[in-house]
Structure 1
Amino acid sequence: MEKPYKIPIQTCIGHVHLKVSNLQRSLDFYCDLLGFEITTMYGTEAAFVSAGGYHHHIGLNTWYSEDYPMAQKKGVGLFHTAILYPTRKDLATIYNRLLQINYHITGSADHGVSQAIYLNDPDNNGVELYWDKPKVEWLYNEDGTLIMYSAVLDLDDLLKEII
């Protein structure tokens, strides 16, 4: 009997492409606030943005959504886009930036394998800013599955990373 197909372990999610209602407002959020850089513009209807010169991590377009209402909290669609920061200090830095401008944070959590800050973009799309804990700190059940949970993230302790 043939083994079930498994995706290659090196596979990663390359980018997310979002329909937005106002391109400039989204660029203000993803570039001016979160620090992504524009790599390509397609007129006034679409933009690709990235971290570190990659062709794009996030695509933004108004092709089918210009001036449409925000994404609904209930219903089908994208739950959130997750942006992985390389260090806990980097997560603390963006969290502090959000605090400084009083940006609304919808939540935070320690998931056992990661620590996360949650917010929404201007179109009400969920955004998770997170840092993965070192793999040696991850915990596993007896059957080999990961132990993940949503516990309170000590945000004051997180900020100590940049003090």
Structure 2
Amino acid sequence: MSLTLEGKAPIAPYVMPAGARIGHVHLKVAELERSLRFWRDLIGLEVQQRIGDQAVFLSAGGYHHHIALNTWESAGGSPPAARTTGLYHVALLLPDRPALARALRQLVQAGWPLEGASDHGVSEALYLRDPDGNGVELYRDRPQAEWPRGADGALTMCTKRLDLKALLAEAV
């Protein structure tokens, strides 16, 4: 589909509105039930709708879906090879540090491996992979007033080791 604006003067570059957000992500998966056990039973999302053995829509808090899993083009498929393009990770923003601590406790109890855990100054994050090799980030943001800034006021994010034992101690 191609559209043109003939006879119109050039306009300023488009800027996404401040209220925009990522609404949902669709993931191609090899086995729906295996992925459902990860996203529902381990990560804690709730099923909102299911289309037979082809797709399932999951969310937190009753939203229509944050994550959709489907096998429409991927049933029985393999994860993408390393060093290829594609999705780096899906990031799920948790409301606060205790929620992140409870997510960590769930992963530890299930024996699910972490690939990393970082303090970025603006946020704290846990990194893992789903059964299809998709990267998953579970994180919480610090209040904006606590974000690290340079003398010029510019954001100065970092990557430091996240103290997992201290975080786990906050799982209430």
Query: Is the TM value for this pair above 0.5?
Result: yes
- The question of 1:104 aligning with 2:109 is answered no
Q: What is the one-letter code of the residue matched to 1:60?
A: L
Instruction: Give the equivalent residue in structure 2 for 1:78.
Output: 87
Pick aligned residue for 1:52 from 56, 61, 79: 61
Aligned-pair CA distance for 1:161: 1.3
Aligned residues: 163
Conserved 8 A contact 2:31-2:76? yes
Aligned-pair CA distance for 1:97: 1.0
Instruction: Give the equivalent residue in structure 1 for 2:144.
Output: 135
Instruction: Give the equivalent residue in structure 2 for 1:92.
Output: 101
Over alpha carbons, which structure has the higher Rg? 2
Please give the alpha-carbon distance, in whole angstroms, between the structure 1 residues aligned to 2:76 and 2:67.
20
Please give the alpha-carbon distance, in whole angstroms, between the structure 1 residues aligned to 2:28 and 2:110.
25
Aligned-pair CA distance for 1:7: 1.0
Aligned to 2:78, the other structure's residue is in SS state: coil
Please give the alpha-carbon distance, in whole angstroms, between the structure 1 residues aligned to 2:142 and 2:80.
31
Aligned-pair CA distance for 1:72: 2.8
Q: What is the one-letter code of the residue matched to 1:69?
A: S
Aligned-pair CA distance for 1:44: 0.8
Aligned to 1:162, the other structure's residue is in SS state: coil
Deviates more, 1:151-160 or 1:8-17: 151-160
Aligned-pair CA distance for 1:142: 4.1
Instruction: Give the equivalent residue in structure 2 for 1:5.
Output: 14
- The question of 1:31 aligning with 2:40 is answered yes
Conserved 8 A contact 2:42-2:110? no
Conserved 8 A contact 1:72-1:124? no
> Structure 2 unaligned runs (5+)?
1-9
Deviates more, 1:151-160 or 1:1-10: 1-10
> Structure 1 unaligned runs (5+)?
none
- CA deviations on 1:28-52 (whole Å, 9 max, x unpaired) are 0000111111111111101100101
Percentage of matched positions with identical amino acids: 49
**RMSD, matched Cα:** 1.4
Please give the alpha-carbon distance, in whole angstroms, between the structure 2 residues aligned to 1:49 and 1:100.
22
Please give the alpha-carbon distance, in whole angstroms, between the structure 2 residues aligned to 1:108 and 1:69.
26
